[in-house]
């Protein structure tokens, strides 16, 4: 299965969430079993032989890709959640979004120092959410091998916010 099939399943939604924005909607990728499997294959193939301990998914669409890739690789999955959603002792980071601000958190015992992880989400836009996720993971002394996204909006230059962290995006608009 090709990247072109995945790209063809991504829907443009004009003027969402506000006028002038063209939203890249990946939900058709999720509902197309061929496109969804192909997207998981892309990530699983990339990380299969990299000694990754866990996929770390950002709330909420990062959970979909991260859990599926973790299952395919036989490794753990760690959620980074929106503030107030984790039941145990957690660490949090607040950051600015394109349209406001947010706070995300991770359990303090989610990773061990030196544990090799991949941060995964559906889309890299301005990079604020991913940068906050990396900050959380590095604060727990995890080794963030890479930040992975199905789609990257390259014109927004979100990679710049991720510092030295390697970025993988098979689809760049």
Which tokens belong to 164?
């030295």
Q: For residues 140 and 124, give the distance between their C-alpha atoms in angstroms, rounded to a whole number.
A: 23
Query: Can you tell me the distance from the alpha carbon of 24 to that of 52, in angstroms, rounded to the nearest whole number?
Result: 29
In the annotation, is 105 catalytic?
A: no
Which residue in the list 46, 61, 72, 91 is annotated as catalytic? 61
* One-character DSSP codes across the chain: --HHHHHHHPEEEET-SSTT-EEEE-HHHHH-HHHHHHHHHHHHHHHTTTT--EEEEETTHHHHHHHHHHHHHT-EEEEEEETT--SS-EEEEEEEETTEEEEEEEETTSS-TT-EEEEEEEEESSSHHHHHHHHHHHHTT-EEEEEEEEEE-GGG-GGGGGTT--EE-SEE-
The catalytically annotated residue of 4, 11, 48, 98 is 98
Does residue 108 have an active-site annotation?
A: no
As annotated, the active-site residues are 61, 98
């Amino acid at each position: 299965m090709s990247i072109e099939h995945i790209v063809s399943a991504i829907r443009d939604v004009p003027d969402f969430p506000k006028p002038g924005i063209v939203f890249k909607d990946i939900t058709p990728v999720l509902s197309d079993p061929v496109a969804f499997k192909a997207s998981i294959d892309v990530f699983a193939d990339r990380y299969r032989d990299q000694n990754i301990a866990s996929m770390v998914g950002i709330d909420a669409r990062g959970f979909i890709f991260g859990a599926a890739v973790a299952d395919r690789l036989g490794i753990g999955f760690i959620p980074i959640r929106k503030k107030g959603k984790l039941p145990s002792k957690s660490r949090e980071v607040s950051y600015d979004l394109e349209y406001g601000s947010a706070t995300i958190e991770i359990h303090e015992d989610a990773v061990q120092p030196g544990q090799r992880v991949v941060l995964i989400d559906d889309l890299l836009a301005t990079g604020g959410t991913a940068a906050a996720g990396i900050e959380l993971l590095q604060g727990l002394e995890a080794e963030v091998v890479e930040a992975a996204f199905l789609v990257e909006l390259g014109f927004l230059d979100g990679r710049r916010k991720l510092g030295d962290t390697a970025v993988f995006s098979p689809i760049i608009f």
